[in-house]
Structure 1
Amino acid sequence: MSTSENMVKTDRDPRLYNADLAPVKSEHRDWSWLNMSTVWMGMVHNVVAYESAAGLMALGLNAIQAIAAVGTAYFILFIVLWFNAKAGTKYGIPFCVLIRSSFGVFGANLPVIIRGFIAIFWFAVQGYAGSQAINAIMSTLWYPWSTWTTTLLGLSLNGWLSLGVFWALHALVVSHGVHRIRNFELIAGPLVIIVGLIATIWALGIAHGFGPIFAQPSKLHGMNGMLTFAIGVTGMIGIWSTFAVNIPDLTRFTKSQKDQVIGQLIGLPITAIVFTAMSVIVTSGTIIAFGKPIWDPVNLLKAINNPAITVLGGVTVIIATLSVNVAANIMPAAYDLVNLFPKKLTFIKAALLVLIIGLFFAPWYWFQNASTIFKVLGMIGGLLGPVTGIMLVDYFVVNKENYDVETFYMYSEEKDGKYGIKTNGVYALLIASVVALSGYFVPWLSIAADFSWFIGIGVGASLYWWFSVKWPTPYGVANQPTHLSRVEESAD
C-alpha cells in the first residue's frame, strides 16, 4: 500500500466510512443503460402503479387523460432524477454520503433517517401486498391452505406463512449484494412486460377493441378540470418522489452520465406510460368479462379462477413486487442504516435488518385503512421534497458541480463545528417542511396538501440558496480540482 493511500485511509473517520459507503471504483461501475432501464422497468411494474390509474379515473379523468397524467408526472420526475443522479454518477457515492455536503457529516443523519423510515415503511406495505399473491397461488393449488384462517396478531395463519415465504425471497435476492440485485432486475423487468402484453392481448380480444373504459367521456372541464389534472399529476409524482432523493444509490454503479440518462428515460416515463395503458386496457376488458372493473391484479386472478393463469399471474405479481421492493426500498434503507452504523453494518447485513424491522410496521393493519397509508406517505414525501431541492442547489449552484469527496469521510471540530452539522441545510429543511405540510393541518390551506412535493422542493431549494449566499460555509467545497483519482485509488 502506498504512503498516500495509507494516509487517506487513516484520515477517514470510522464513524463516517466503510467499504459500502466508499466511492465505487471506475472499473466496478459496470451498469449500462440497459441495466438502468430494466431496474426502472422492474420498479414501475408494481401493484400500486397498476392500480394508480383507478385513482386517477376516480378523480374524474377519462382513460386518455389518466395516461396523459402519468406521462406528464413521470417526465417531470425523470428530469429531477436525471439531474439529482449526476453527482452520484460522477463520484460513485450514495445519497447518504452526498447529503453530508449540505447538512454536515452528522447533520446528514436527519434526512437519512427520514428517507430510511419511509423506505422501510414502503417495503413493508409492498411486501404484504406481494405476499397476497403467494396466498392466492397456494390456495388455488392446495385446498387445505385456504382453510388455515386462524388469526394471530391480526393476520391469518396462511397469511403469516405467505409473508414468511415472501420475506425469504427478498433475503435470497439481497444476500449477495448489489450485483445480484442488478442481475435479478435484468430478468424481472422484461418478464413483467411480456406477461403484461399477454394480458393486454387477452383484454383487447374479449372487448373487441379498447373496451368500455375508453368510451367513457371526461367529467372534467375548464379550470376545475385543469386543477384536477394537476392534482393527479402531483399524486403520481408522490409515488416516486422519495426515490428522487436517493437515485445516486443506483447511478453510482453506472458507467457514464449517458448510461444513467438513457436508462432512466427508457425505464421511467416511456415504460410507465406503456404499463399504465396496459393496466387500463386490461381493466376495461374485465368489465366485459365480469360485469365490473377489477383494478387489483390479485383479485383479477381470483375472478378468472383458472389454476394455470393464477400461478402464472401470481408469479408475475411476486416478481414485480420483489423488483420494486429490492431496488426502491431495501437498497436505500440498507445504505441509510450503514451510514448510521458503519462500524457495525455492511450492506448485506443492513438489508437483512430491513426485513426484520419491516415486520414491526405490521402492514396488514395499515391495509385496513388505505387512506391512512397514503396520507402518512404523502406527508413524509412532503418532507423529502425539500431534501431534493437542497441537494440540487448544493451541487449545481453552491458547489458548481465540484465536490471534494474526501471531506465527506472526515470530521474535525475545528472544521465542521462541535456537532458536525451545517445549519443552512437543517434550517432550510425544517422551514420548508413546515410550509409543505401546512395543508395537512391548516384547513384553509388544504389545497396545498395536494402539491406538497412541489412546494417542498421549491421552498427548500430557495431557502438553501438564500442561506448559502448570506452565510456561506466552505464545507464540502473544493477550491482545487476534486481529488477523485485519490478517492478511487483508496476505495476498497
Structure 2
Amino acid sequence: MKTQIEQNGIVILTKEASDSLEGSGLWNDDLRPTTMKEHSWKGLNFATLWIGMCLCIPAYTMASGLISLGMNWWQAIATIFVGNVIVLIPILLNSHAGTKYGIPYPVFARLWFGSKGAHIPAMARAIVAAGWFGINTWIGTGAIDTLLSASFSFWNFSGHTVIVFALFWILNVAVAYKGPQAMKYLSLIATPVVGISAIILLIWALTNSGGWGPILSTPSQFQTTGEFFKVFFPAVTGVIAFWATLALNIPDFCRYAKSQKSQMVAQSFSLPLTMTIFSFIGIAVTSATVVIFGQALWDPVALLAKFPPFIIFLGTLVIVISSLTINVGANVVAPARAIENLNPRRITFGLGALITGLFAILMQPWFIMENFGNYIFGWLGTYGALLGPIDGIAIADYWLVRKRQMALHELYDVNGRYSYTGGFNKNGVYALIIGVAVPVLGLIIPGLHFLWDNAWTFGLFVSIIAYTYLMKGDQSVLKKGEYEKMTSYKNSVSGNLADTLDGSNPNVNLY
C-alpha cells in the first residue's frame, strides 16, 4: 500500500496513512508531517529569519572577544566568517530532511535514536536552549531597564527590574506560544527595523568620528602564524558553538519550506554574511566611540544611554525586537518541541513553550549572571560544542546510512521499524558516547588538548564514522525497492494530479 507521496522532492503522507495514525501515542497536530499547503515558506522567509536572529547584541559584540585575544579587526572578521560557513554545512544537511519530509526535530531524532531514545538528543538540545532562554531574557531585561532608567528619572523605583523582566518574559512566551509560524512574521518585522538601525548607527559613528577610529588601525598581536593558529582554532569552535544548537533543530523551521532550493540559497547567503557584516559594524562603531567618547563602548546599550531620551526610546524598541527574535527563534522552539514530544497526546507546543519559560525562571538567570557568569557561559558554550556528535549522527543517518529514504508513516507508529528494540537504537547511543569521549580525551591527556579545542568538529566527524559503521546492515534501513513500493510520485500539478486537486482521490493529503 502506498503510504506517502513525493512531489517535487517533498514527501507527504497519504490521507489514509495520516488517518491511521490519529490514535498513535507518537502523533499530534504539531508533530505530524506538514501538508503540501503548509510548505509555504519562501527563500525570503528564511533570509529574514536568519537576519533577524543574527542582528542581536551577542553578534554585535562577538568580535570584541576575538580582538581581546590579540587579533586585529580583519582577523576577527575572517574568523567569524569561517566559523559561520562551517556551521552552515550541518545546518543545510539537516535542513534537507526537514524540508523533504516535513518533520520537526524530535521526530527526526526518532530515526537515529528510536521512538523513546529520541528524548536523549531532543532534551540535550532543550536543556541548553532553555538555559540560554533564561539568560537572554535577563540580558534583554538589563538592556531595557538601563535604557528606561536613562530616559526617565522616575524609573529607579523599587522593583523596576522585576517588572521589566516579567513583562519581557511574558512577551517572549506569548510569541513562542504561537509556534514557529509566528517567527515567520516576527522576522519580517525585525529584519528591516534592526538592519536599518544598524546602518544608521554606523553612519552616525563615521560622521562624528571623522574616520574609522583607532581599533581598525590596531595591528595584530601575533608575531608568527603559529601563534595566530593557536588562538584561531578554539576561536572558530566558539563561533561554531554560537549556532551549533540550531543546526540540530533547523528542521523545526525547514519543514515549512516551499522547496529545497529556496531554503538552501537563502540560508547560505543570510547566515554567514549577516553575522560577518554585523560584527564588522560592531567593530567600526566601537572604534569610533574611542574618538567620540574617549573610551571603547562595545556594549550597544551603554552606547545608546549616551543619546537623548527620544533616541534611547527608539533604541529600546529595536533592542526589544532584536532580543525577542533571537530568543524565541533559537531558544524556545527546540525545548518546546522536546517537551511536547515527551507526551504528544497530552502536551501541545504552546504548553511546551510555557513550561520552557517556567523552567528558565527556575534556573534563576539573575543569580547565574551575578555570581557565576563566566563559568555558566563557558559551560553552555562547551555543552553546545559537545552537541557536535549529535549533529554527526543525524547527518550520517540521513545521508550515509539511509541515503535520504525513509518510511515517513513508521516514524509515528509505536510498533514501526524506527522504534527499534524497546524504543531505543543502541547504535545511536554508542555513537554518541564515542563522539563525546574522543574530545574529552583532550582534557585528560595534555598532548591531545587540540581535541578539546576543536570539540565540536572532532565530535561530529568521530560520530559520523562510528554511527555509519555500527548501522551497517541494520534492519531499520529500507531495502532496495522498498521506498518505491510505499511511495507515489507526483511531479507536477497537472495531468496525474488533477484528481488530487479536485478531491476525488481519497488517498492524497495535500490540504
Identify whether the pair has TM-score above 0.5, normalized to the shorter chain. Answer: yes
SS for the counterpart of 2:471 is helix
Relative distance call for 1:80 and 1:415 in structure 2 (3 A) is closer
Q: Structure 1: 5+ residue runs without aligned partners?
A: 149-156
Q: Tell me the amino acid that sits aligned with residue 325 of structure 1.
A: N
Equivalent positions of 1:195-234 (< 5 A) are: 195-220=197-222, 221-234=224-237
Following TM superposition, by how much is the alpha carbon of 1:445 offset from its aligned partner in structure 2, in angstroms?
4.1
Whether 2:151 is the aligned partner of 1:141: answer yes
Equivalent positions of 1:171-250 (< 5 A) are: 171-220=173-222, 221-250=224-253
SS for the counterpart of 1:272 is helix
2:494 aligned residue: none
State the distance in 2 between where 1:193 and 1:227 align: 34
Whether 2:48 is the aligned partner of 1:38: answer yes
Q: Contact between 1:41 and 1:190, CA under 8 Å: does it hold in 2?
A: no
State the distance in 2 between where 1:169 and 1:388 align: 31
TM-score with structure 2 setting the length: 0.89
Q: Tell me the amino acid that sits aligned with residue 433 of structure 1.
A: V
State the distance in 2 between where 1:83 and 1:362 align: 35
Q: Contact between 1:24 and 1:488, CA under 8 Å: does it hold in 2?
A: no
1:473 aligned residue: 475
Relative distance call for 1:413 and 1:197 in structure 2 (3 A) is closer
Whether 2:96 is the aligned partner of 1:86: answer yes
State the distance in 1 between where 2:358 and 2:149 align: 26
Whether 2:66 is the aligned partner of 1:56: answer yes
2:9 aligned residue: none
Give deviations 1:201-220, integer Å, cap 9, x for gaps. 11111222221111000112
SS for the counterpart of 1:480 is helix
Relative distance call for 1:229 and 1:7 in structure 2 (3 A) is closer
Relative distance call for 1:7 and 1:463 in structure 2 (3 A) is closer
Q: Contact between 2:97 and 2:398, CA under 8 Å: does it hold in 1?
A: yes
Equivalent positions of 1:6-405 (< 5 A) are: 8-11=18-21, 14-148=24-158, 157-220=159-222, 221-302=224-305, 304-368=306-370, 369-405=372-408
Q: Tell me the amino acid that sits aligned with residue 60 of structure 1.
A: G
Q: Contact between 1:337 and 1:350, CA under 8 Å: does it hold in 2?
A: yes
SS for the counterpart of 1:210 is coil
Following TM superposition, by how much is the alpha carbon of 1:51 offset from its aligned partner in structure 2, in angstroms?
1.4
Following TM superposition, by how much is the alpha carbon of 1:194 offset from its aligned partner in structure 2, in angstroms?
0.5
Give deviations 1:118-151, integer Å, cap 9, x for gaps. 1111111111111112212321333232142xxx
State the distance in 1 between where 2:70 and 2:62 align: 13
How many residue pairs get matched? 480
SS for the counterpart of 1:21 is coil
TM-score with structure 1 setting the length: 0.92
Following TM superposition, by how much is the alpha carbon of 1:490 offset from its aligned partner in structure 2, in angstroms?
5.4
State the distance in 2 between where 1:143 and 1:30 align: 48
State the distance in 2 between where 1:353 and 1:387 align: 24
Q: Tell me the amino acid that sits aligned with residue 341 of structure 1.
A: N
Q: Tell me the amino acid that sits aligned with residue 215 of structure 1.
A: S
State the distance in 2 between where 1:398 and 1:101 align: 11
Give deviations 1:382-425, integer Å, cap 9, x for gaps. 33100111111111111011111111101228984552111111
With 249-258 and 133-142 compared, the bigger mean Cα shift is at 133-142
Q: Structure 2: 5+ residue runs without aligned partners?
A: 4-13, 490-504
State the distance in 1 between where 2:48 and 2:417 align: 46
Following TM superposition, by how much is the alpha carbon of 1:360 offset from its aligned partner in structure 2, in angstroms?
0.9
Following TM superposition, by how much is the alpha carbon of 1:439 offset from its aligned partner in structure 2, in angstroms?
3.5
Q: CA RMSD in A?
A: 2.4
